[in-house]
């Protein structure tokens, strides 16, 4: 499973990339707003750090305007993926961008029917938001299972990005189900690595090594 960082924070991206486990990044208007920086200069810096696809979300609401915005971002780098919301205007945008060979990540996916329609329109990626479904007492991972099954049934090449990841279990479940990608906050990345028994084991080894040195 590929791992994307779900952040526009340059320090988090640099650190994650240095760990050697990051394949790409996803941003959204809320993540961009947190950084208090000019949008385009920030995206350009993100693209310089990340060695793979970077999702950049359009903010217009009509298909025509979204396509114009998308073309502008796509010119910046071949790694730009245009994030488009799943609605009727969004589907038109996905079809147009797919014909122009511009990659898309269809976002705010909350049902498997939305994921199937996005794929049919030519989406490169779809992003089911598992955490936000869990937040309203649903089962986000069940949605991922459905999408994986449907895409397998029809050999659909659209890749599934498990998004709105809240904790390490979401990440493990995404990998067990066979999702292509999990996009995770930086805080989850460190939680995936830490284990108290690893820390305890290291402490014991180092203490015993001190005895050998004496
Ligand atoms: C994914 O592409 C989104 O940016 C993100 O995962 C949304 O997560 P949230 O529900 O924690 O805001």
Place of tokens 């659909």: 156
What is this structure's pTM? 0.96
pLDDT over 90 (residue 120): yes
Confidence tier at 202 by pLDDT (50, 70, 90):
very high
pLDDT over 90 (residue 129): yes
pLDDT over 90 (residue 136): yes
Tokens of residue 102, six digits: 């511009």
CA of 164 to the centre of ligand 1 (A): 4
Taking residue 147's Cβ as centre, other Cβ atoms within 10 Å add up to 25
Nearest CA, atom 9, ligand 1: 164
CA of 206 to the centre of ligand 1 (A): 40
pLDDT digits (tens, 9 = 90+) for 141-194: 999 999 999 999 999 999 999 999 999 999 999 999 999 999 999 999 999 999
Across the chain, what does the average pLDDT equal?
98
CA of 28 to the centre of ligand 1 (A): 7
pLDDT over 90 (residue 25): yes
Domain holding 140, by residue range, is 2-213
Q: What is the pLDDT of residue 166?
A: 96
pLDDT over 90 (residue 214): no
Contact criterion met (CB below 8 Å) for 181 and 2: yes
Contacts for 167 with CB less than 8 Å, ≥ 6 apart? 188, 191
Count up the domains in the chain and report the number.
Answer: 1
Nearest CA, atom 5, ligand 1: 164
Q: What is the pLDDT of residue 48?
A: 98
User: In whole angstroms, what is the distance from residue 190 CA to residue 143 CA?
Assistant: 26
Instruction: Name the DSSP letter for residue 182.
Output: E
Question: Ligand 1, closest atom to CA 165?
Answer: 6
CATH number at residue 121: 3.20.20.70
Element at 56 (helix H, strand E): strand 54-57
């Amino acid at each position: 499973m590929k791992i994307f960082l779900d952040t526009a924070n340059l320090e988090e991206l640099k650190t994650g990339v240095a760990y050697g486990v990051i394949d790409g990044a996803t941003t959204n208007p809320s993540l961009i707003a947190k950084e208090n920086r000019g949008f385009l200069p920030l995206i350009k810096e993100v693209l310089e750090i990340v060695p793979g696809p970077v999702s950049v979300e359009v903010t217009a609401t009509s298909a025509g305007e979204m396509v114009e915005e998308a073309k502008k971002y796509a010119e910046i780098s071949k790694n730009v993926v245009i994030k488009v919301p799943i609605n009727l205007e969004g589907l038109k945008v996905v079809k147009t961008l797919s014909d122009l060979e511009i990659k898309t990540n269809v976002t705010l996916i909350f049902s498997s029917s939305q994921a199937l329609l996005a794929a049919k329109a030519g989406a490169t990626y779809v992003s089911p938001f598992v955490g936000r479904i869990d937040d309203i007492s649903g089962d986000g991972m069940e949605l991922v299972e459905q999408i994986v099954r449907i895409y397998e049934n029809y050999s659909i090449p659209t890749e599934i990005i498990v998004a709105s990841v809240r904790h390490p279990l979401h990440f493990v479940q995404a990998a067990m189900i066979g999702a292509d990608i999990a996009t995770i906050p930086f805080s989850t990345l460190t939680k995936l690595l830490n284990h108290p028994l690893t820390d305890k084991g290291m402490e014991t080894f180092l203490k015993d090594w001190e005895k050998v040195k004496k």
